[in-house]
Structure 1
C-alpha cells in the first residue's frame, strides 16, 4: 500500500493523505452472492478496505481490523434472523 498527499489538500500542513490499494489485493467478499451486486475486500496490514465491484475506481471505505470483525459478526447475526 502506498500513501501520498491528496490532490485536494492545500499547501499548508493540514493535508489529507490517501492510500492506493494494489489491484492484486482485492477479492470478492465471501459474503457476496452470485449476482453482480458484489463487495470486494482487500486485507491490508492494519486495515480492511471495502469497495463496490461495479465501481472499482470509486470510493473505498477502510476499517481497522477490530471494527471490521465486529461488522462481519453483526452482519452474520442479521442474515440469520
Structure 2
C-alpha cells in the first residue's frame, strides 16, 4: 500500500473523486475532499487543483467535522 504524506501534489492522487460542498461559492472559494485507497482523507483548495493536498486519518477528519458541526470554528468565518 502506498503511503501518502501531507503536502503531496493533489494531481498525483490518481483515481480519487474530489467532492466539494453544495454550499461552495461560484467563485471557486472552496475546499475539496477525497477518500484515498488507504482509508485516509485528502483535502485541497479548489482554486489550485494541481497544488498541495493535506492528508488526514479518518479519525482526524471525523474530529474536525464534529467540531465544525458544533460551531467550534464559527469565529473563523467572520
The TM-score with structure 1 as length reference comes to 0.63
SS at match of 1:49: strand
Higher relative contact order (CA 8 A, sep 6+): 2
Pairwise CA distance, 1:23? 5.6
| Residue in structure 1 matched with residue 56 of structure 2 by the alignment | 63
How many pairs does the alignment contain? 66
2:31 equivalent to 1:44? no
Unaligned runs of at least 5 residues, structure 2: none
* Cα-Cα RMSD: 3.0
Q: Which has the larger share of strand? A: 1
Larger Rg over CA atoms:
1
Which consecutive aligned stretches of 4+ in structure 1 deviate over 4 angstroms post-superposition? none
Cα contact 1:32–1:39 (8 A) shared by 2: no
Q: CA–CA distance in 2 between the matches of 1:68 and 1:33? A: 19
